[in-house]
Amino acid sequence: MDKLIIKGNAKISGAVNVHGSKNSALPIIVSSLLSENTLKLSNVPNVVDVLNLIKLLKNYGVKIEYKKDKLKINPKKIKNLSADYDVVRKMRASILILGPLLSRFGDARISLPGGCAIGTRPIDIHLQGLTKLGANFEIQSGFVVGTVKSQLVGNKIKLPFPSVGATENILMASVLAKGETKISNAAREPEIEDLSNCLNKMGAKITGHGSKTIYVQGVTNLKKAEHEIISDRIVAGTYIIAALMLNSSLEIKNFNTIYLKSLINILKKMGAKLKVSKNSIKVLKGSKLKSTSLSTSPYPGFPSDLQAQLMSLMCLSDGKSKIKETIFENRFMHVPELNRLGAKITVEKDTATIIGNQTFKGAQVMASDLRASVSLVLAAMNASGQTTLNRVYHLDRGYENIEKTLGSLGVKIKRQKN
Ligand code: UD1
């Protein structure tokens, strides 16, 4: 397994271009299964989750060409298979193929995602929603097996929680369902809007996306389309936090700053000097940061995917901060590793207390999930001495060539292949 060797006391400067959003790309690539016509995508991030999904769809017979950040997907001759544990285990987002496959074939068989590093993450909301559209589910030897009698039929679906994945799965399934579907208490994440915009270009009739209530008028088929995927707000937020932790000036470009409003507000409250434009942010050096407290919550609230990175920053700010994690259980796996680097963080139930004004010291640490890993990279760049980050594959799932990007900004970081 690859390792990253990171030299501390780093300073960064210049500008970074944010790559395409992983969490938009995954459902949008899956949505191609609904159509018989070509979907061309641009700004596709070259990250391992996307590469794994491409592999999965190729197994289903989808023809895919991938050049630079462009994907050409032709799903005309797909066959229905079983998505096995080995695939679903690596990437929970594989469960998103359930809705489109049920819609196109009337049956689908996918391994249950099972336990996951960040909590149990069940799929009950996905299944309840798809059941309301007329699907029937059985669990057979660790597989969820779905069938539809004739065709999915639109319905009114109220989600008990605005799950991102469930909203996407139900949305995709309802595009070709008969009649109208109303999804209430839907997730409002920008990635849902992006998926809906792409589906509408393909000929779907979706309104209300980006709000709590989404309406879908079923159509009979979809046409060829082209779509540019939005840039990754979580990656953008990570680089903003990096510049603040390294007391460096940095420009973060090529993303819609509206999607990061919750982070920008918190950072400004903490005392960060930021120059915010429509599609870029300049972090200015010389910020004196103070502590704060917050809870993660569904969009437009503070994203759980930036919780670990902000926690790293809080270790350096003045005073005692608190973070309450309300989206996922057990999403504090970075805490013991940050403590190995010199942080003083304690966790009680869903709340972490972070003592500020700490100094990080390089050590051997272990990446445990995607965002946890990057919080360790942030701390390591600030630390005195050298840090070795093991199990880098977690990072590669969502950050495109992170060592190259950070290297180009001035960080001494190298990958050791094993
Ligand atoms: C997506 C994102 C992930 C982000 C998360 C929350 C992708 C590929 N991943 O994950 O990066 O951290 O949104 O913003 O887009 N839940 C249930 N039953 C369900 C579905 C979810 O109980 O059927 C629970 C989960 O266990 C979790 C919470 O709801 O505790 C949020 O999950 P969800 O919004 O579905 O996240 P994902 O789509 O898995």
Alpha carbon nearest to ligand 1 atom 28, residue: 327
Nearest to 378 by CA among 321, 318, 315: 315
For the chain, what's the residue count? 418
Pocket test residue of 29, 260, 327 for ligand 1, highest count of atoms within 8 A of CB: 327
Distance 57 CA to ligand 1 centre (A): 22
Clarify whether 116 is annotated catalytic: yes
Alpha carbon nearest to ligand 1 atom 33, residue: 163
Token pair for 260: 């990061």
Q: What is the pLDDT along the chain (418 residues), one digit of tens a residue?
A: 899 999 999 999 999 999 999 999 999 999 999 999 999 999 999 999 999 999 989 989 999 999 999 999 999 888 877 777 777 777 888 899 999 999 999 999 998 875 445 455 689 999 999 999 999 999 888 889 999 998 999 999 999 999 999 999 999 999 999 999 999 999 999 999 999 999 999 999 999 999 999 999 999 999 999 999 999 999 999 999 999 999 999 999 999 999 999 999 999 999 999 999 999 999 999 999 999 999 999 999 999 999 999 999 999 999 999 999 999 988 999 999 999 999 999 999 999 999 999 999 999 999 888 888 999 999 999 999 999 999 888 899 999 999 999 999 999 999 998 7
- Full DSSP string of 193-233: HHHHHHHHHTT-EEESBTBS-EEEE--S----EEEEPPB-H
Q: Which residues line ligand 1 (CB under 6 A)?
A: 23, 26, 92-93, 119, 121-126, 161, 163-166, 191, 303-305, 327-328
- Full DSSP string of 76-133: TT----EE-HHHHHH-GGGGGGHHHHHHHHSEEEEE-----SSS----HHHHHHHHHT
What pTM was estimated for this model as a whole? 0.97
Q: Do domains 3-16+232-416 and 22-228 have the same CATH topology?
A: yes
Pocket test residue of 56, 159, 164 for ligand 1, highest count of atoms within 8 A of CB: 164
Alpha carbon nearest to ligand 1 atom 13, residue: 164
Domains of the chain, by residue range, sit at 3-16+232-416, 22-228
Q: Which of 15, 81, 112, 116 is catalytic?
A: 116
Residues 398, 417: Cα–Cα separation, whole Å: 19
Distance 398 CA to ligand 1 centre (A): 16
Q: Which fold has domain 3-16+232-416?
A: UDP-n-acetylglucosamine1-carboxyvinyl-transferase; Chain (3.65.10)
Is-contact 341 362, C-beta < 8 A? yes
> For residue 115, what pLDDT is reported?
43
Query: Which residues touch 298 (CB under 8 Å, ≥6 apart)?
Result: 162, 164, 187, 188, 189, 327
Nearest to 299 by CA among 234, 352, 370: 234
Distance 327 CA to ligand 1 centre (A): 8
- Counting from 1 in the atom list of ligand 1, the atom nearest the Cα of 161 is 29
CATH architecture of 22-228: Alpha-beta prism (3.65)
Residues 181, 215: Cα–Cα separation, whole Å: 6
> For residue 90, what pLDDT is reported?
77
Distance 222 CA to ligand 1 centre (A): 28
CA 134 to chain CA centroid, nearest Å = 29
Distance 175 CA to ligand 1 centre (A): 21
- Counting from 1 in the atom list of ligand 1, the atom nearest the Cα of 121 is 26
Is-contact 10 411, C-beta < 8 A? yes
